[in-house]
Structure 1
């Protein structure tokens, strides 16, 4: 029967590989005494006032669909927030859609702009869902590897090499998952002439925009000539500890947003109503909680990066998000071998770097969105593991 069922699957679905992150989550869940540095979500619970706003919306009878694009009041609040925080101007009525997480926004964007055979340059190491999303939309993902010596930032030269006549767009994610890399205004400016020269669209995943520690986030959409060709994607999961609420948003040129809205109407109708009410409260009264979480992440980042370097795992200082991306090349193991043996021998779960693209081989992703006590114990165990295998 299994063979019969297999014949009904599309070639695209059959060729998709399962998420490399989930493999280690599944293994870890079957073991005792595991410290997980693999989860890409805040360890904080959603602030209570946001939860209360969700409860209140139910008690008030807000259980029906919203407008397809989402509550106008929330879109207006997002428009104001983007203006206040990032100096970006978007129309609440025609340039913002509330989506089911930032992931749906990425899917909508690709399905709105890609024709079969179009290429999309993906800056890697990058989030595991990007390349499959391009493939599912009928496009061809093209990997652009960033380097540790460049602090995993995009360079003008590397971008130029990745572009062909079939390139339609480039996907950026800064601050980056998994490297934590950020790009300054000047660094972004250095690639805009290449983008304009080849008339590319930009998908800018800025879900970690609020979580920068050394300098204020600067969106590529602010640069001259970029707003008209940039689809900006963000949401509430990371900054406001609302991963399970599944609420993101997308902004961009009106014509592209209109196309995305049509697909959204047919496939999702609207984002969850209760989540939209919670997000409204988060934007209006949740910024103090955001700053408290951010302060804690900064402290954990500083501890973890210093600790990795002390035990012999070279690690650059990430400018944002909540990930460290240390090199394990000194051990002689592949990232898969390192992650599997570490989990088996020391009960610490990390994510092998290669799942984020070929350029991630030789690295592991470690989330510091966990308590400082857990980080200290994890580093102790990793240090023992590294010393044991160095001695071998």
Structure 2
């Protein structure tokens, strides 16, 4: 093809790329890094990473398989699928390896599931940022439904039924509802009654349930069961999980999905494998080997997860106490490593002293004035005017692996000097929010 002559006008493309915003959880991480480069003392409470080192045994297994290449089965290796089936069977969900599909992370699996299912999806409000975003990316409509008070992650069953009826009346084809047990962003767990009622609504209205249970091994009370929808509606529930939360293997990109047994599950598997074959072919072989070891749950990894659960419980509890002391309304976290405080009781003071009207106003103030990185509840589907935010304290465990391992081993991690210092800094910031700061007045260091 001949080169364009210099005298010819440059013709721009007659379209623009589709606008897709950077995921809020990743964007806040970059904002915190920017404040650090500016020399600001920061409190990194925005990014949902587990904050503990990778266990050496998991690293060993990955290293042992580092030389493996080639494309394996799209669904995943037999060893991985067998280990994942055992993992769910031990949790009261009898599972055959044929019901497992592996992928390069639970995020791609969710996207592939939404693509295979088609139609619109109901998501909880609030809920993890990627559920609604991925529904939009596959051309579906994310239908937001509020959760019961104190029970994050699962749409209110009564409101769900109403939303589905209304959406279908205006011509929408609603096919799925996405739930999270335990929940991100609130760190709470829906009750068995709520989950049973949700399953009844799903049956009545012909909905598939996608249950993201990536935090189920991080319940602060290890004796508390998770009421998975797969227990009450096994014929219509897909369960997903990964290694990034319980084993802090963020970035290793390996997730698994447990599909329903029966004719629908087999048809969904065929469709999902077709989508996966065009998206990622197969998950990386070395990671599949390490994941098979992890899902077999050897004692050394079980102990590691137990210690991480205790650490998450201790620090999220301490952070929740600091927010409560500052006048926020806080539901006590029950799992994972998140706190979801509500500053509605301080709305008048925040508006008068700082011009705060929305959650984004509040989190922008915290970042720009104080170097505190958190995410507004509006990023998770909450109303913009609701003064709620997601706080992820797991980055306070330490600046290096030596500190993080010390936090993991400590019976009282909130008392470790670096963590206690961060908690006191948080208290200072929250106390300062209640005071009027005039222009030019120094911000507490």
**When the two structures are superposed, what TM-score results if normalisation uses the length of structure 1?**
0.90
Q: Is the 8 A contact 2:126 2:152 kept in 1?
A: no
Alignment-derived partner of residue 163 in structure 1:
164
- Distance change >3 Å, CA 208–CA 56, structure 1 → 2: same
* Pairing of 1:108-257 with structure 2 (within 5 A): 108-114=112-118, 118-146=119-147, 148=149, 154-164=155-165, 165=168, 166-214=173-221, 215-223=224-232, 226-252=233-259, 253-257=265-269
Higher RCO, Cα 8 Å, sep 6+: 1
- Distance change >3 Å, CA 67–CA 152, structure 1 → 2: closer
Q: Is the 8 A contact 1:151 1:316 kept in 2?
A: no
- Distance change >3 Å, CA 273–CA 152, structure 1 → 2: closer
Deviation readout 1:187-208 (Å, 9 max, x if unpaired): 2112222111111111111111
Alignment-derived partner of residue 367 in structure 2:
343
Q: Is the 8 A contact 2:322 2:427 kept in 1?
A: no
- Distance change >3 Å, CA 2–CA 348, structure 1 → 2: farther
- Distance change >3 Å, CA 190–CA 138, structure 1 → 2: same
- Distance change >3 Å, CA 217–CA 147, structure 1 → 2: closer
**When the two structures are superposed, what TM-score results if normalisation uses the length of structure 2?**
0.80
Which segment drifts farther, 238-247 or 283-292?
283-292
Alignment-derived partner of residue 4 in structure 1:
12
The structural deviation recorded for 1:153 is 5.3
CA distance in 1, matches of 2:423, 2:327: 11
Which segment drifts farther, 65-74 or 155-164?
155-164
The structural deviation recorded for 1:30 is 1.6
CA distance in 1, matches of 2:258, 2:328: 39
Alignment-derived partner of residue 100 in structure 1:
104
Question: Which of residues 274, 277, 280 in structure 1 aligns to 2:292?
Answer: 280
Larger radius of gyration: 2
CA distance in 2, matches of 1:302, 1:387: 18
The structural deviation recorded for 1:5 is 4.9
- Distance change >3 Å, CA 291–CA 387, structure 1 → 2: closer
The structural deviation recorded for 1:150 is 5.5
Question: Which of residues 422, 425, 428 in structure 2 aligns to 1:384?
Answer: 428
Q: Is the 8 A contact 1:308 1:379 kept in 2?
A: no
* Pairing of 1:301-340 with structure 2 (within 5 A): 301-329=316-344, 330=346, 331-332=350-351, 333=356, 334-340=358-364
Question: Which of residues 384, 387, 392 in structure 2 aligns to 1:367?
Answer: 392
Which segment drifts farther, 38-47 or 26-35?
26-35
Unaligned runs of 5+ in 2: 1-8, 260-264, 398-413, 437-445
- Distance change >3 Å, CA 38–CA 374, structure 1 → 2: farther
Deviation readout 1:308-356 (Å, 9 max, x if unpaired): 1112122101222210000123134222122122122222211111101
